[in-house]
């Protein structure tokens, strides 16, 4: 498959604006852009800045299936997207959304790739040819008849991409494709995109993990409040400057430093030779995992996709039962609970009518005095900057706000151990930093005992972790300091991890865009 046919064509947006139904504020305004064939453009911007909406506009899904108000026009190669059929759009632009799991509509990879090709009414031999081609290209041949709900996050991501590319689009739009991938998975995906671009495919990526992407891109677009505020070449120092101006790097929060105030004598949890095996499987996911968690610690759990990080957190929270070993938790203090958990999909912990009720729910269940409930709610809301949202329904808030409410709801219980499963998924760096800084402040003030979070983001490990647990190859590969992890290239490789890039780090002022160290 080549994209040479698109060599003389471009994608063009002219004064595009869009307002969602029922909203007074424009999600996009006055956007005029062109994209050259074979280029890679990175869309950056804080959560809610309009990146995903812009991708939908470029794919022709807005105004097609949306009922809001759109201004301007988009020309997709030879086609005006207004009034174009879904089939015409699908053969020109492919959009891969944030959550691969929610886009997979069939039971196995073969059917998933075939789905779009069936819609194109291609003959069966051609469908078979493309299925073989794209499953092979994305390394999914061994899983071709495996149930899609048993694939790993990385495999699902590759499958959604294969099923879109099999339809032969000339423009590929990706919404946070790296969010759930480890370093090796991200590299593999980006290498594949480089190959496709060389064949003429135009790629636009909205992403928060800029450090892995910028050195490969031609252009950086920064959005804020639905407008393009910067449009610069990606490989130049001005790209970093533009990101700094837009507050999209991890600048140090004033007054913050990594706390080492651990209390070795005060062990919160003792995990002893823990093993876990999924029902019906013989090979354990991990075995003989043992470590202690001490008061004041902020632990990061890292490891490649599918290594069992989330399962380890689920076992600590009691969501799944380990097949062997013990978890011994030290006694909870009065008015607190043992463990607080914010799962990867934090929305699943929000069930009250208002944010205030959500935060008060736990303390009320503990039958605390109303004055104490109010104190905790107010203090936690202030710390996580959600005090102005107290009357809002939690599920109607933005993604970043929902995450903060979910974490705050766990924090009002003053848990001895707070578990955060990939808090950076779908969040911009500033949102995550605000959240983890607030959690660290409560930890320093001994309001909570210890924090354990899983992540693929080296910047978070560097900034917030006092200790790192590396879960890989079915075992606890290392229990070390962040510095020890970042200085051991072999360990990082086995952990599917990489050192934080200098230009995005909290501590350096370098403005050169360098390829990240694998």
- Binding to other proteins (CB under 8 A) within 278-317 occurs at 280, 317
In this chain, which of 410, 439, 469, 492 binds other proteins, going by CB under 8 A?
410
15 close to 31: Cβ distance less than 8 angstroms: yes
Closest to other proteins by CB, 435 vs 499, is: 435
In this chain, which of 259, 263, 272, 345 binds other proteins, going by CB under 8 A?
345
Secondary structure (H, E, C), 89-122? HHCCEEEECCCHHHHCCCCCHHHHHHHHHHHCCC
Q: Which residues lie closer than 8 Å to 367 by C-beta, 6 or more apart?
A: none
User: Please, what is the minimum distance in Å from the beta carbon of residue 395 to other proteins?
Assistant: 5
In this chain, which of 11, 57, 90, 356 binds other proteins, going by CB under 8 A?
90
In this chain, which of 38, 343, 423, 516 binds other proteins, going by CB under 8 A?
343
User: Please, what is the minimum distance in Å from the beta carbon of residue 147 to other proteins?
Assistant: 4
How far is the C-alpha of 436 from the C-alpha of 151, rounded, in Å? 30
Instruction: Indicate the angle between helix axes 153-165 and 124-137, nearest 10 degrees.
Output: 140
444 close to 259: Cβ distance less than 8 angstroms: yes
Closest to other proteins by CB, 127 vs 302, is: 127
10 close to 34: Cβ distance less than 8 angstroms: yes
Cα angle, residue 337 at apex, residues 331 and 341 outer, rounded to 5°: 120
In 166-271, which residue ranges form alpha helices assigned H by DSSP? 183-198, 237-245
Closest to other proteins by CB, 319 vs 514, is: 319
In this chain, which of 12, 17, 20, 64 binds other proteins, going by CB under 8 A?
64
User: Please, what is the minimum distance in Å from the beta carbon of residue 100 to other proteins?
Assistant: 10
In this chain, which of 288, 347, 479, 488 binds other proteins, going by CB under 8 A?
347
User: Please, what is the minimum distance in Å from the beta carbon of residue 14 to other proteins?
Assistant: 22
User: Please, what is the minimum distance in Å from the beta carbon of residue 65 to other proteins?
Assistant: 5
Buried-exposed string 424-463: b where 16+ CB fall within 10 A, e elsewhere: bbbbbbbbbbbbbbbbbbbbeeebbbbbbbbbbbbbbbbb
How far is the C-alpha of 446 from the C-alpha of 414, rounded, in Å? 9
Q: Which stretch binds other proteins (CB under 8 A): 9-17, 300-308, 346-354, 469-477?
A: 346-354
Distances (CA, A) of 119 to 59, 60, 101, 123, 405: 17, 17, 21, 11, 41
User: Please, what is the minimum distance in Å from the beta carbon of residue 394 to other proteins?
Assistant: 9
171 binds other proteins (CB under 8 A): no
Closest to other proteins by CB, 119 vs 487, is: 119
Binding mask 172-211 for other proteins (x = CB under 8 A): ----------------------------------------
Cis peptide before 460 (omega within 30 of 0): no
Closest to other proteins by CB, 156 vs 216, is: 156
150 phi/psi in degrees, rounded to 5: -105, 0
Q: Which stretch binds other proteins (CB under 8 A): 8-16, 122-130, 291-299, 503-511?
A: 122-130
């Amino acid at each position: 498959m080549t994209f040479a046919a698109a060599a003389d064509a471009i994608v063009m947006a002219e004064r595009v604006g869009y307002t969602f139904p029922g909203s007074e504020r424009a999600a996009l305004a006055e956007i005029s852009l062109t994209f050259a064939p074979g280029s890679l453009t990175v869309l950056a911007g804080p959560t809610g800045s309009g990146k995903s909406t812009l991708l939908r506009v470029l794919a022709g899904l807005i105004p097609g299936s949306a009922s809001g108000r759109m201004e301007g026009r988009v020309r997709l190669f030879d086609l005006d997207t207004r009034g174009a059929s879904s089939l015409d759009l699908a053969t020109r632009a492919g959009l891969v959304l944030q959550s691969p799991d929610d886009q997979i509509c069939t039971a196995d990879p073969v059917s998933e790739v075939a789905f779009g090709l069936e819609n194109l009414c291609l003959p069966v031999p051609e469908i078979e040819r493309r299925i073989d081609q794209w499953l092979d290209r994305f390394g999914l041949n061994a899983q071709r008849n495996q149930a899609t709900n048993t694939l790993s996050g990385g495999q699902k991501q590759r499958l959604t991409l294969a099923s879109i590319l099999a339809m032969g689009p000339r423009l590929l739009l990706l919404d946070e494709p790296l969010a759930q991938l480890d370093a090796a998975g991200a590299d593999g995906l980006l290498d594949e995109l480089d190959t496709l671009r060389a064949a003429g495919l135009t790629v636009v990526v909205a992403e928060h993990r800029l450090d892995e992407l910028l050195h490969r891109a031609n252009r950086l677009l920064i959005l804020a409040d639905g407008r393009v505020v910067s449009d610069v070449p990606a490989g130049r120092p001005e790209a970093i400057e533009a990101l700094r101006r837009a507050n999209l790097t991890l600048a140090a929060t004033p007054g913050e430093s990594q706390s080492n105030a651990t209390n070795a004598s005060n062990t919160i949890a003792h995990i002893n030779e823990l093993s876990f095996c999924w029902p019906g499987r013989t090979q354990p996911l991990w075995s003989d995992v043992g470590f202690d968690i001490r008061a004041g610690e902020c632990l990061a759990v890292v490891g490649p996709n599918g290594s069992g990080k989330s399962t380890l957190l689920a076992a600590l929270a009691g969501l799944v039962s380990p097949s062997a070993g013990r978890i011994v938790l030290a006694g909870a203090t009065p008015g607190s609970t043992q463990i607080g958990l914010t799962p990867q999909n934090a929305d699943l912990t929000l069930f009250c009518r208002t944010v205030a009720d959500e935060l008060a729910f736990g303390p009320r269940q503990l039958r605390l005095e109303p004055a104490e409930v109010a104190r905790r709610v107010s203090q936690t809301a202030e710390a996580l900057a959600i005090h102005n949202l107290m009357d809002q329904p939690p599920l109607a808030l933005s993604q970043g706000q929902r995450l903060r409410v979910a974490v705050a709801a766990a924090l009002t219980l003053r848990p001895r151990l707070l578990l955060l499963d990939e808090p950076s998924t779908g969040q911009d760096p500033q949102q995550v930093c605000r959240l983890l800084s607030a959690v660290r402040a409560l930890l320093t003030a001994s309001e909570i005992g210890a924090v354990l979070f899983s992540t693929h983001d080296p910047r978070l490990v560097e900034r917030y972790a006092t200790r790192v647990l590396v879960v890989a190859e079915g075992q606890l590969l290392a229990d070390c300091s962040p510095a020890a992890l970042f200085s051991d290239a072999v360990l990082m490789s086995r952990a599917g991890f990489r050192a934080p890039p200098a230009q995005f780090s909290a501590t350096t002022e370098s403005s050169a865009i360098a390829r990240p160290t694998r």
